[in-house]
Structure 1
Amino acid sequence: MTSTDTVTVPPQRAGAKEWIALTVLSLPAMLVMMDLTVLHLAVPHLSAELTPTSSQLLWITDIYGFLIAGFLITMGSLGDRIGRRKLLLAGATAFGLASVLAAYSTSAEMLIGARALMGVAGATLMPSTLSLIRNMFHDDRQRTTAISLWMMSFMVGGSIGPLVGGALLEAFWWGSVFLVGVPVMVLLLVVGPLLLPEYRDPGSARLDLVSAFLLLAAVLPVIYGIKKLAEDGFGWLLVGAVAIGLAFAGLFVRRQRSLDDPLIDLKLFRNRAFGATLGIMTTATFAMMGLNLFVMQYLQLVQGLSPFRAGLWVLPMTGAMMVGMTLVPVLAGRFRPGYLIAGGMFVSAAGIAIITQVDGSSGFAVLITGTCVMAVGFTPAAALGTDLVISAAPPERAGAASAVSETSNEFGGALGLAILGSVGTAVYRSGMDSDLPAGLDPAAADAARDTLAGAVAVGGELPSGAGTTLVELARAAFTDGLQATAAVSASIALVGAVLAAILLRRVRAGDDAPSNDDAPAGEVAPATVAI
């Protein structure tokens, strides 16, 4: 061998310890999603006992998700600085204690505070777990598989949350829904130090608190404004909240450019494997989340299923996504990421196109088929896209990169709910502008035109003939709205597919960003790994 020859050393493959640790890391991710869905079932029970005002009830249901979105990037960057395992264990401790506090709350104010603490603690869990996976699995195929399995835990948590919550509420008091995660967090605290590696960047500076404040002031008003626009319709105060958030976002970006050690390295966005993939993932979440809002309402208000039975019929879609997640690592070894993501989004668009054929009488089987095809198609964007994003960032920035990925999904989901929700609502109200039963008083007519739930409630108070006519009209109008929303969502998925095929066509799996371009040959980049 001559002095000019080079030897490529294959990355170290993960062993049994890492795969067992992955199981441990998947549990808190599942619980974060469960807590996003389980509370809604408990609202009637806790309302009867704590008697919150309407404003307090909104904060009880919303503050958890808002604070997760607001603190994700800050917590991801903090983990890069102090250690991902340390932050994960601290967050697990705080999440468990806050869950107990929520379960035994004696007032609405106490429950709001507990949910806020759960949100801040929850923001430490997702970027910490994902960035640890980045440092535990160095082989490209293994890392893609690990991320796919990790993302399955989110799907399982979101799907079984209402089912577990319903079972607990039938047997125990409303606070029991918050105690599900406590044993899991205790398990994480016991086995985490034994199984999980520590990783941090000792060369980083202290966390810039001004940047953290600016980021929080940017994310919270935007997420709040978008979600409330989706729920309540247009309002100047909500538009103002979004504008204020965008103004703080501009200040945040300006500050990051001036710092030697920013909270987010904006140069990462020039890398297509990072910036373009984030945009495509946001597009996918936009299309899927906006449509899912109408799917759940269709199952309950058009097909007449109870919330529990509607949750059961979402399980086929979850199963389809799990199948897709198992296929992604296999296909990733044969196709470039851009083409695999693009192909998946074409499949999703086809599934959503099936949903445009849903009608009020025979649409049930069509809907389930369409959602399953849609779910399978979105899995490459979710799993492989996440892999590309965290692999494109230097190892010492994996926590921040993971948090940016999660935050982009939050924005995509919020935008999807707002924009696609507005499309479906506009079609519904257009269909309800005429043919209302004669003699309906103005307040009842407005309620029926506003939402399908309102129309069903008004129909129940009318004589049988008029009530049945009103409900059938409302269900037909809502189905038209679902079809229109599906058509727009399919178009968005097609746009995402084209963008993935074009922007990611030259990106390969494992196109990592170097951790230290200036490090002399033979020196280790400034990061430490300890078991």
Structure 2
Amino acid sequence: MTGVLDGSVGQGAPARRARLALALLSLPSLLIAIDISVLGVALPQMSAALRPSPTELLWMNDIYGFMVGGTMITMGAVGDRIGRRRLIVACAAVFALASAAAAFSTEPWMVIVARAVMGVAGAAIMPASMALIGQLFADPKARISAMGVYMTCFLAGMAVAPLIGGVMLQYWWWGSVFLLGVPVMLVTLLAAPRLLPESQTQVTAPLDLRSAALCLASILTIAGALKWAVNGAQLWQAVGLAAIGVALGAIFVRRQRTLEHPLVDLTLLRRPSVSRAMIVLFLTALLMGGTSIFAAFYLQSALGFTPLQSALWLIPSTIAMIIASNTGPWLGRRIPPMRVVQGSLVIMAAGFVPLAILPPSRSGVAFIVCGAVLSTAGIGAAFPFLMNDIISHAPQEQAGSAASLAQTANEIGIATGLVIMGSLATVVYRARLSASAGHAEGSWVDGFGQASQDPRFFDQVRNAFVDGIHAAGITALAVMAIVLALIFVRRAARV
């Protein structure tokens, strides 16, 4: 970090102090990213201990991501008004307390509530941190490098989460994965007042709480409709709830267009380059988040590996993510960045082929590893370019709004993917198990739990679960075809 971050520092602070501040700001981002994906490793043990319903299982897994994405823009506006350092300190304390509450939960609803609170706190920390980085590094080159360090920590957190979770679950109980947040946030709580400058914007307009409520309500209502559908609710109930969510979203958009001081400036999306990159960012995040839930369950439940063994098998994908996130920008300085993005997304698409043809036998380990390496390497190389594409095409005075929109699209994409892919796989699982066993209730978690008591039932559950993964893999390939079409159509329009 020393060599690339020696640019000018705002307010005359020495470069060393700025680097220490960057390290402090990056630490919570690493943890927030870990908490988004670490639950996939812990879910088998959590499910066995807490016995959640299929709907509760999905909410436990993705409520964190939905709350991060649904409240990030709002919490960024709060930081503008009360001070970003003050907000980071307050939310670090909240995050630590909520993490401890999640670790010692005894009911599924307790985990859901605790992770929802963690999501709001995490949503506050990220935009405040990015705003402070802009203040700490006044030189544009140093600022870009600092942002790169920050985002690399975030991506690395998502990549190493399975390994960290596997190690902790090997020696402790499932709640230990949440206790990671306590010491990290305590360090932030103690060091932030010493290392971080205070920063706030002179905003005279009051915070539009109606817009904030509409945004979050729309997201959670649509997510709830999907969960109702997969949990066996009447079709009209799920469709009706989804329609309410869409209507709330439409009201939110209309309100932003009519307010003099909107919560978020949506005029950015009228720029074709920005809107296209936003769609690609959302869809790729949806696929990465949605397929991440299957690897740990397959390795642990279908093949009988321990959490640590499963994590060790996923180390290659962690290495691929780290290498790709550094190799992509390096290649972009030597060949046209669009070619890097196109090639990276083709590699990502190839990573979903193994899921579509995954065998139920132990040879499937190679398919899981290969798919994870290709998909994480592809998105790792393309992600910096997608983020830069959105910010660079926005007017300078709207760069902050563009960054918030891009990060929100990424977070909501991850959480939405968990719901859609998890729901799709559950529907296919039940259909296959019903055809082979004559009945199917609950999720594949319940099925594997029953199979542990009746080994004769195991092959039917495993095969039905793998069929669900096949459906998710085929769906991912179809979505990637749309993503690649958007990317190649963009280049054709430029030629």
TM range (shorter): 0.7 to 0.9
CA contact (8 A) 2:230 2:426 kept: no
- SS at the partner of 1:274? helix
My pick for the range that moved more, 72-81 or 58-67, is: 58-67
Q: Which residue of 1 is the match for residue 192 of structure 2?
A: 192
- 1:88 to 1:335, Cα distance in 2 relative to 1, 3 A: farther
1:70 is matched with 70
Tell me, yes or no, if structure 1 residue 298 matches structure 2 residue 334.
no
**Aligned equivalent of 1:522:** none
1:495 to 454, 472, 482: 482
Distance in 2 between residues matched to 1:118 and 1:124, nearest whole Å? 10
Q: What is the CA–CA distance in structure 1 between the aligned matches of 2:50 and 2:416, rounded to whole Å?
A: 29
Task: Check conservation: 2:348, 2:377, Cα contact below 8 A.
Answer: yes
- CA offset digits 1:71-109 (Å, max 9, x no partner): 222112222344433322232233234445556779988
8 Å Cα contact 1:347/1:373 also seen in 2: yes
Q: Give the drift of 1:376.
A: 0.3
2:142 aligned with 1:142: no
Greater share of helix: 2
Instruction: State the alpha-carbon separation in 1 of the partners of residues 259 and 226 from structure 2.
Output: 30
- The change in CA–CA distance for 1:232 and 1:336 in structure 2 (over 3 A counts) is farther
Q: Distance in 1 between matches of 2:168 and 2:156?
A: 17
Structure 2 counterpart of 1:367, one-letter code? I
Aligned partner of residue 472 in structure 2, secondary structure: helix
| Aligned residue number for residue 169 of structure 2 | 166
> Which residue is equivalent to 2:440?
447
- Helix, strand or coil at the partner of 1:495: helix
- Distance (Å, rounded) in 2 between the aligned partners of 1:350 and 1:257: 40
Structure 1 range deviating more: 125-134 or 262-271: 125-134
Instruction: State the match for 1:510 in structure 2.
Output: none
Aligned to 1:127: 127
Deviation at residue 400 of structure 1 after TM alignment: 4.4
- Alignment partner, residue 286 of structure 2: 286
Tell me what 2:240 maps to.
Answer: 240
SS in 2 for 1:261: coil
Question: Aligned partners of 1:456, 1:41: CA distance in 2, in Å?
Answer: 9
Structure 2 CA distance for partners of 1:366 and 1:53, relative to 1, 3 Å? closer
2: CA distance, partners of 1:392 / 1:204: 28
Do the aligned partners of 1:134 and 1:390 also contact (CA within 8 Å) in 2?
A: no
Q: d(CA) in 1 for partners of 2:308 and 2:157?
A: 19
In the TM superposition, what is the alpha-carbon distance from 1:456 to its structure 2 partner? 4.3
- Structure 1 residues 288, 45: closer, same or farther in 2, change over 3 A? closer
C-alpha distance in 1 between matches for 2:188 and 2:306: 35
Aligned counterparts of 2:64 and 2:347: Cα–Cα separation in 1: 33
Aligned to 2:408: 407
Instruction: Write the mapping of 1:200-211 to structure 2, written as runs, cut at 5 A.
Output: 200-202=200-202, 205-211=205-211
Q: 1:451-487 CA distances to partner (integer Å, 9 max, x unpaired)?
A: 555554555555x6xx1xx533443444344334323
Question: Is the alpha carbon distance of 1:243 and 1:308 closer, same or farther for their aligned partners in structure 2, counting shifts above 3 Å?
Answer: farther
Root mean square deviation, CA, Å: 3.9
Structure 2 unaligned spans of 5+: 1-5, 10-14
Deviation at 1:372, TM superposition (A): 0.3
Equivalent-residue separation in structure 2 for 1:94 and 1:434 (angstroms): 47
Q: Do the aligned partners of residues 195 and 428 (structure 1) sit closer, same or farther apart at CA in structure 2, a change above 3 Å counting? A: same
The worse-fitting range, judged by mean Cα deviation, of 270-279 and 80-89 is 80-89
Deviations 1:332-363 (A, max 9, x none): 32344433222211111122224444323322
Measure, in 2, the Cα distance between the counterparts of 1:262 and 1:415: 25
AA of the residue aligned to 2:417: G
TM-score normalised over the length of structure 1: 0.76
What is the distance in 2 between the residues matched to 1:246 and 1:109? 26
Structure-1 separation of matches of 2:118 and 2:220:
16
| Deviation digits for residues 2-60 of structure 1 (CA, Å, limit 9, x no counterpart) | xxxxxxxxx95675544433322221122223444357477479859xxx999989877
Unaligned runs of 5+ in 1: 1-10, 437-444, 508-531
Are the equivalent residues in 2 in contact too, given 1:351–1:370 (CA < 8 A)?
yes
- 3-state SS of paired residue (2:351): helix
Residue in 2 aligned with 1:372? 373
TM-score (norm: length of structure 2): 0.81
Match for residue 155 of structure 1 among 158, 171, 179: 158
The answer on 1:363 being equivalent to 2:377 is no
Return the offset for 1:226. 3.4
**Count of residue pairs the alignment pairs up:** 477
Q: Which residue of 1 aligns with 2:86?
A: 86
Counterpart in the other structure of 1:339: 339
